[in-house]
Chains A and B, each alone.
Chain A
Amino acid sequence: MALIEVKDLSAGYENGYVVENISFTLKDGEFLSILGRNGSGKSTLIKALQGLLKNASGQITVDGEDIFSLKARRLAKKIAYVPQIFSFSFEFSVMETVLMGRYIHQGRLGGISPSDSGIVEEVMSLAEIDHLKDKKIAHLSGGERQRVFIARALAQDTPFLFLDEPSSHLDISYQVEIYQILKRLQEEKGKTILSTEHNINLVIPYSQRLMFLKEGKVSALGEPEKLITKENIKDVFRADVEIRENIHSKLPEISLIPKAGEDS
């Protein structure tokens, strides 16, 4: 039973804590989305949950083991991480990048084992990037690149998958595509997924639970049907919205109210 328990976590950088007093449990097989305004601490939280921040207090356990005392190698067998898209000079090919996910499963000097290549092939087809195999990462579009990084995280073969704003900088079609892939991973591979996102409507159909983060603190946590209310959105995002029902998913959906003429 894969489980992450967080108790009273506070974490941040050299200038002090960005997120404070976070407590929640990530349940086996669920898809939990963390939502909040820019600067609310979403990225900080997802890093802190993997023990990547030195300035942290509180307790995080993965399957009963304390994250802060786990070695990088052991933790890497539990949690895989897809960071926000960033631009950089990256000369590795798609295949080589995905293979990096196999690091903990390989010897230091050893090459690619049959099980490595089997898994790499499988995750590349799951992420629909088999045809890009020999391309250089630098030559890919944003959506393709994001799928490569997801495939790389999958190659790590972990029960938990963490993603930081997987849809940012992507076209609408790619945004949905990424979430479709995540859904398949949850359903077919039994992954437990934790993802930060700022696009509320995008995640509602895919998430079993949402966490609203406001100024570094959890302001609400629960099922989308209960959390998506006018008052909550006003409180967390400082935006005036109407809530309506999505005609396809029958789930709640927010609709922005234009401000024009209101305060003139």
Chain B
Amino acid sequence: MKTRVKKLRLLLVLLILLIAGFLISLLEGPVETNFNDLWNLVVKNDSTFRTIFVDLRLSRALLAFLVGASLSLSGAILQGYFQNPMAGPFVVGVSSGASFGAVLCIYLGLNIRIIGFSVQSIFAFASGFVIVSLVYLLSQRKGVFKVETLLLTGIAAGALASALTSFMIFLKADHFEQAVFWLLGSFALSDWNQITAVLPYFFLCFIIAQWLAKDMNLLVLGDDVAQSLGCPVSSVRKTFLAISTFLAASSVSVSGIIGFVGLIVPHWIRILIGPDHRCLFFFSSLTGGIFLIYSDLLARTLLQGELPIGIITAVVGAPFFIYLLSQRK
């Protein structure tokens, strides 16, 4: 019962933060706007600031929320999958893989759009997927696969992808800004197209994750016991690996690599509300989304120009993560 009260209280706090986050995101920006302008748009349908409010700021906040939610959900899934609080989209190689694809695209000079998606996004997505599939296949030994092998192979493959990415940036120093975008992340290029590129996947993956959340809980007991309790372990594991990859790759494909969200948010939520994935998935998604809304606010208001959001999340996230670790008994 105590945890139920805790969860409700957390939900309330998060919802307030979410609404406040959206409001500040809408009002804050290079063009001076105030609450009255927003009121006029919503109530009186006054379209003076429509483009600024809806197409620039709302789309940006919404994209930040979706990417944060996707990365955190991906992290929550991977931490459950590996039974390891150090896991995250970064660790299995998907983030580095996806950004490698994007930078490769810049390097090759491809800059076209196919049915609304930029080729870069498609490349990012595909290479993220390829890396994880490779890691998955390489960590199998005669049909049996070990979680530790997968984790270590993922780290190695991610490092390799990052090295290749840096190499390409080095060769094409004139595309530095674009490269920074992919390596450190940004929502500066957000538009509604990108939201439609992320939103359906997020919802689909979220529903699947929630559907299989009980199975994920059983995996703590070990695969053998989970199986003997009636959980179809191997198909559950495959599904979770696929959707966590999907979530991370689709996020990176619209906003570049944004570190630490997928690692600290689920980790922190687990400490707050416990290990039940039925709640963990939901709260991680919500918190991750809120975290990125505020991080993006900082990224675009702290200095004159835009800061890459990855710097903000790392500066906030890394010390917080170390703090959480030091709190562990």
Chain A interfacial positions (CB closer than 8 Å to B):
13-14, 47, 50, 52, 54, 71-73, 75-77, 79-81, 83, 86, 88-92, 96-97, 100-101, 103-104, 106, 108-109, 156, 162
* Binding stretch for chain A, among B25-33, B176-184, B211-219, B249-257: B211-219
Q: Chain B residues with Cβ under 8 A from A156's Cβ?
A: 229
Interface size class for chain B? 20 to 34
Closest to A77 in B: B230
Q: Chain A residues with Cβ under 8 A from B212's Cβ?
A: 108
* B276 A96 Cβ-Cβ under 8 A: yes
- The 16 sampled A-B contact pairs (Cβ below 8 Å) are A50-B227, A50-B228, A52-B228, A71-B232, A72-B230, A76-B228, A81-B225, A83-B221, A88-B83, A92-B274, A92-B275, A100-B229, A103-B230, A103-B231, A108-B212, A109-B210
Q: Chain B residues with Cβ under 8 A from A97's Cβ?
A: 221
* A79 B222 Cβ-Cβ under 8 A: no
* B141 A81 Cβ-Cβ under 8 A: no
Give the distance to chain A from B142, nearest Cβ to Cβ, in Å.
4
The 10 closest A-B pairs by CB, nearest first: A76-B230, A104-B230, A81-B228, A91-B275, A14-B142, A73-B230, A72-B232, A103-B229, A52-B224, A72-B230
Give the distance to chain B from A51, nearest Cβ to Cβ, in Å.
8
Give the distance to chain A from B221, nearest Cβ to Cβ, in Å.
7
With A47-B224, A52-B224, A109-B211: A101-B275 Cβ-Cβ less than 8 Å: no
Q: Chain A residues with Cβ under 8 A from B227's Cβ?
A: 50, 52, 72
Give the distance to chain B from A257, nearest Cβ to Cβ, in Å.
38
- Cα distance A40–B124 in the bound complex, in angstroms: 51
Closest to A137 in B: B220
Give the distance to chain B from A54, nearest Cβ to Cβ, in Å.
6
- Cα distance A100–B220 in the bound complex, in angstroms: 11
Candidate in B83, B142, B229, B270 with the most chain A CB atoms within 10 angstroms? B229
Q: Chain B residues with Cβ under 8 A from A86's Cβ?
A: 222
Q: Is B116 an interface residue (CB 8 A)?
A: no
User: Residues 101-144 of chain B: 1 if any A CB is under 8 Å from the residue's CB, otherwise 0?
Assistant: 00000000000000000000000000000000000000001111
Give the distance to chain A from B57, nearest Cβ to Cβ, in Å.
36
Give the distance to chain A from B151, nearest Cβ to Cβ, in Å.
16
* B218 A100 Cβ-Cβ under 8 A: yes
- Tell me the B270-313 residues at the A interface (CB within 8 Å): 270, 274-276
- Cα distance A150–B185 in the bound complex, in angstroms: 49
Q: Is B94 an interface residue (CB 8 A)?
A: no
Q: A72-B230, A103-B231 are in contact. List 15 more A-B contacts (CB 8 A).
A: A52-B224, A52-B228, A73-B230, A76-B228, A81-B224, A83-B225, A86-B222, A91-B270, A96-B276, A100-B229, A101-B229, A103-B214, A103-B230, A109-B210, A109-B211
* A14 B144 Cβ-Cβ under 8 A: yes
- Cα distance A77–B212 in the bound complex, in angstroms: 20
Q: Is B233 an interface residue (CB 8 A)?
A: yes
* B274 A91 Cβ-Cβ under 8 A: yes
Q: Chain B residues with Cβ under 8 A from A103's Cβ?
A: 214, 218, 229-231
